[in-house]
Amino acid sequence: MTLAILGGTGPQGQGLALRFARAGVPVAIGSRDAARAAEIAAELTAKLPEGSAAISGHDTDGAVAAAEDMVILSVPWAGHNATLEALKDKLAGKILIDIVVPLAADDPKKVDMPPEGSATEAAQAILGPEIPVIGALHNVSAVTLRTLEWDINCDVLVCGNSLEARKKVMALVSKLGVTAYNAGGAEAARCIEALTSILIRINISKAVPFTHAGIRIWAPDH
Amino acid sequence: MTLAILGGTGPQGQGLALRFARAGVPVAIGSRDAARAAEIAAELTAKLPEGSAAISGHDTDGAVAAAEDMVILSVPWAGHNATLEALKDKLAGKILIDIVVPLAADDPKKVDMPPEGSATEAAQAILGPEIPVIGALHNVSAVTLRTLEWDINCDVLVCGNSLEARKKVMALVSKLGVTAYNAGGAEAARCIEALTSILIRINISKAVPFTHAGIRIWAPDH
């Protein structure tokens, strides 16, 4: 049941690797630089409590090959499409979990969406209809993920055109102790990805008392 | 300091009228049918605790004329653009607060955004740059608003191209006892409006234990 995390040497990828490994899910982190991936895997392993699953380091193709059925894409937006073009043939039979947010290059408080509408929709267009793309985990702060003693203060909105794949990803995400919600088809990623830029604005703003903001779905207090 | 609410006879408009009046803000509800507006104003007034501000009923033009400086637009999406075209000349010197969500006609779990990107951006295009349009209050359930004994379980994301107008609307919204966040320029409405359709999906879903979901911005639990 190994999970691949591409871009697993970045802050978000490292945080997810730690959280999933601690939750018992073996993680194969992938990077263009396999030596760097192995180094980061060793560093992360040293931070894990006993009883955690293993974190291993690979080049990108190796991480994809190691994945049982799910691959998280956690690269910077600038490398999103090129990474997927290169991997297209190797992802057959797997679910791609896209956590990438198309932040504007000059202002992370804004998004600069691709013509497809969102990163998730762009990924689906590149991979074609046979490989389900699921958008998830966009709104969780990397700092929060990497600080294992904090609870994750964020619900996870999960979207994508395959309901079956959405359900599998919701079950995976739930292992992190967070609540995952079915947010509908891939178009919902236009909202979910953009929410990250709003959270970044709130974090940067001097008007609010906290950083690493997340979102929660909340019921009336009654 | 009277606040106009256009479409004030609908569920969301009625709820906002009740909440603002209870918070001490006089409300002029506007409708195409002035008699209906007067009737609803009387019904709402009967529900208010002592010490609340007044709710009065008017035709649309009359409500706009009664507004000190802010006008809430709370009509169905189908009437959004036509209402603004008709009011354009009368809104000079005022801020338009657009709470309308372009829900898809055949599926309220989805949005069907206009070519401008969102209702807020469409409104700004119609009214021109001299009249500031602020998107706000999209995500608060009408049922929650109308149930005065409930706290409002929802933070309010406020966006629009005028920072000055955003701040005025944040101050207004704060009177309802909710936290208002500066979410940036009008483009953020693409996310904030669409979030309502995701909340509607969550409300409809059998998978979650509650209805009338709202969103909260949440800090790490540490």
Closest CA of chain A from B206, distance in Å: 11
- Is B71 contained in some domain? yes
Contact B191 A187 (CB under 8 A): no
Please report, in tens digits, the pLDDT of each residue of chain A (222 residues total).
Answer: 999 999 999 999 999 999 999 999 999 999 999 999 999 999 999 999 999 999 999 999 999 999 999 999 999 999 999 999 999 999 999 999 999 999 999 999 999 999 999 999 999 999 999 999 999 999 999 999 999 999 998 999 999 999 999 999 999 999 999 999 999 999 999 999 999 999 999 998 866 666 789 999 987 655
- Is A57 contained in some domain? yes
Q: What pLDDT does A85 receive?
A: 97
- Is A216 contained in some domain? no
Assess A220–B contact: CB distance below 8 Å, yes or no: yes
- Is A124 contained in some domain? yes
Decide if pLDDT at B83 tops 90. yes
Q: CATH number, domain at A30?
A: 3.40.50.720
Q: Among B166, B142, B154, B138, which residue's Cα sits nearest to residue B77?
A: B138
Highest mean pLDDT among A165-169, B140-144, B148-152: A165-169
- Is B35 contained in some domain? yes
Q: What pLDDT does B211 receive?
A: 75
Q: What pLDDT does B190 receive?
A: 98
Instruction: Give me the amino acid identity at B218.
Output: W
User: How many angstroms separate the CA atoms of B83 and B64, rounded?
Assistant: 12
Decide if pLDDT at B222 tops 60. no
Q: What pLDDT does B221 receive?
A: 56
Residue B97 CA: distances (Å) to CA of A11, B111, B114: 38, 19, 18
Domain of residue A19 covers: 3-204
Check: CB of residue B197 under 8 Å from CB of residue B108.
yes
Percent of chain B clearing pLDDT 90 (strictly above): 91
- Is A211 contained in some domain? no
Instruction: Give me the amino acid identity at B147.
Output: T
Per-state percent for chain B, helix, strand, coil, to nearest 5 = 40, 20, 35
Assess A218–B contact: CB distance below 8 Å, yes or no: yes
Instruction: Give me the amino acid identity at B69.
Output: D
Closest CA of chain A from B125, distance in Å: 20
Q: What is the pLDDT of residues B72-81, one digit of tens each?
A: 999 999 999 9
Q: What is the pLDDT of residues B4-44, one digit of tens each?
A: 999 999 999 999 999 999 999 999 999 999 999 999 999 99
Contacts of B197 in chain A (CB under 8 A): 184, 188, 191
- Is A151 contained in some domain? yes
Number of independent structural domains in chain A: 1
User: How many angstroms separate the CA atoms of B145 and B130, rounded?
Assistant: 31
DSSP notation for A186-209: GGGHHHHHHHHHHHHHHHH-TTSS
- Is B220 contained in some domain? no
Contacts of B213 in chain A (CB under 8 A): 217-219
Contacts of A183 in chain B (CB under 8 A): 198, 201-202
Residue with token string 């990828």: A13
Q: What pLDDT does B50 receive?
A: 96
Q: Which residue has the higher pLDDT, B189 or A207?
A: B189
Decide if pLDDT at B183 tops 70. yes
